[in-house]
Amino acid sequence: MGKLNIAAVFLMLMFVSISEALVVDISKHGARQNADIAQALTKAFKEACASTTKSKVVIPKGTYKLSAVKLLGPCKAPIEIQVQATLIASTEKITEPCWVSFNHVDNLTVSGGGVFDGKGPKVWGGLVQGVTSKDSKQFHVNVIGCTDLHFVRFTISAPHESINTDGIHIGRSTGIKVLDSNIKTGDDCVSLGDGNQQITVERVTCGPGHGFSIGSLGKYQDEAPVIGVTIRNCTLTNTTNGVRIKTWPASHEGIASDMHFEDIIMNHVENPVLIDQVYCPWNQCNAKLPSKVKISKVTFKNIRGTSSTPVAVKLSCSPGHPCQGVELSNIDLTYTGKEAPAAISQCCHVKPKVSGRMNPKACTATV
């Protein structure tokens, strides 16, 4: 009986040992404060990635420089990057499309309350991705071809005059969630390109910025459909747009369907509710030809607040493919300027289904 007890204890100790997470501090690989840690971070990540049990790479408190780095998978088990530090990007223009890149890594967690400082005012170009993203050079985060990636309590900070600094851009991805986050930037707070499915943006504050945008779509041939987008319980303040879907005229064929905007507060927003199928910046397109992107199953529900322009609701759909299944429910938007006595709605090539309170009065024309 005694031998059996010893064996059982031994097996239990083996199980505890095997299940413990591997923790790799970057200082083990030569990282020093105020020095470039790209090489040390790459080595630490490689060591952790090779672990057959879950692992964690720790960047401890302090200030470190970080040049462009690619962290490559696949990894053998779930991996966490715990950033407690402030990471400072080079002020030189970057040649890589991303500053910090994770490639072929499943079950990745980024945590720790640290800051990725992109030093964007020097050049406004590049990408910053992390718990806090400050002054990115271009897109703060670019999510391309990802599955089941979540951003929680994510902070983005850049001034309204920063150029092309989309907060989180998502393309050809599935199951992406942006939750409980605060985004201040010079372009779209969250932008969605083609090929996205089952995207959720919830409890996010946006402003300054260009709001939440789906598109622009239809510019390129063979764009994948956008299906299943929900943006709810969000607040936008002093943004140039609220919630919008935009496609190019004279476009290639495309599909955007099952998109829902619910429980949203607008504070002094220029275009609170917008479908724009004649999106043509700088007049670099043939606006006389209709968009071929088919928009359907769109709901705008429980949207309230103030518009800084008279047209609070604008549904400008394609004459070639009129919008189908657009619903407006419980809209209460007040115009705060002096150009008109009240907010108005405009509709082209759509006949929305209307229910509940409607301010401004909903347009019902199909042309």
Catalytic residue among 210, 258, 321, 349: 210
Residues 6+ apart with CB under 8 A from 223: 194, 195, 217, 252, 254
Residue in 187, 188, 194, 258 annotated catalytic: 187
Q: Is residue 48 within a helix (H) or strand (E), and if so which, with residue range?
A: helix 38-49
Cβ–Cβ < 8 Å for 110, 130:
yes
Does 187 qualify as catalytic in the annotation? yes
Distance between CA atoms of residues 150 and 229, nearest Å:
14
Instruction: Note if 29 is an active site residue.
Output: no
What element of type H or E holds 9?
A: helix 2-19
> CA–CA separation, 248 vs 267, rounded Å?
28
CA dist., res. 192 & res. 210, Å (int): 13
269, 243 Cβ separation under 8 angstroms: no
Length of the chain: 367
CB of 346 closer than 8 Å to CB of 311: yes
List Cα–Cα distances, 310 to 33, 279, 334, 346, in angstroms: 53, 19, 9, 10
> Where is 13: in which H helix or E strand?
helix 2-19
Residues designated catalytic: 187, 210
